[in-house]
Structure 1
Amino acid sequence: MSDWERSSTARVTAPVRPRKLAKVPFVELADGRLQGVVSSGSDIERVYVSSVAAGTYTFACSTNNNRPCGGARGGFCNHIKALINEAVLQYGPERVARCLRAESADGEPSAQSITDGMSATRPAQGDTKAAAPVFSRFLRHLAYLELAPTTAPLPEMQWFPPTRAVA
Structure 2
Amino acid sequence: MVAPARPRKLAKVPFVELADGRLQGVVSSGSDIERVYVSSVEAGTYAFACSTNNNRPCGGARGSFCNHIRALVGEAVLQYGAERVARSLRVETGDGEPTAAGVTAVMTGARPAPAETRTAATVFSRFLRHLAYLELAPSTTPLPEMQWFPTARTVA
**TM, length-normalised to structure 1:** 0.85
Task: Tell me what 1:134 maps to.
Answer: 123
SS of the aligned residue for 2:41 comes to strand
Identify the match of residue 89 of structure 1 among 78, 96, 103.
Answer: 78
For residues 26-77 of structure 1, the C-alpha deviation after alignment (integer angstroms, 9 at most, x for no partner) is 0000000000000000000000000000000000000000000000001000
Distance 1:92 1:150, change over 3 A: same
Identity across matched positions, percent: 79
State the Cα distance separating 1:105 from its structure 2 match: 4.7
CA contact (8 A) 1:34 1:100 kept: yes
State the Cα distance separating 1:151 from its structure 2 match: 1.4
List alignment gaps of at least 5 residues for structure 1.
1-11, 160-167
Runs of 4+ in 1 over 6 A off after TM superposition: none
Identify the match of residue 58 of structure 1 among 47, 51, 64.
Answer: 47
**1 CA distance for matches of 2:145 and 2:85?**
30
Identify the match of residue 144 of structure 1 among 109, 129, 133.
Answer: 133
List alignment gaps of at least 5 residues for structure 2.
149-156
State the Cα distance separating 1:125 from its structure 2 match: 0.3
Task: Tell me what 1:162 maps to.
Answer: none
SS of the aligned residue for 1:28 comes to strand
Aligned residues: 148
**1 CA distance for matches of 2:103 and 2:47?**
14
The alignment's C-alpha RMSD in Å is: 1.3
For residues 65-107 of structure 1, the C-alpha deviation after alignment (integer angstroms, 9 at most, x for no partner) is 0000000001000000000000000000000000000111554
SS of the aligned residue for 2:26 comes to strand
CA contact (8 A) 1:105 1:117 kept: no
**Highest CA radius of gyration, 1 or 2?**
1
**TM, length-normalised to structure 2:** 0.91
SS of the aligned residue for 1:13 comes to coil
**2 CA distance for matches of 1:61 and 1:146?**
27
SS of the aligned residue for 2:69 comes to helix
Task: Tell me what 1:24 maps to.
Answer: 13
State the Cα distance separating 1:155 from its structure 2 match: 4.3
Distance 1:157 1:22, change over 3 A: same
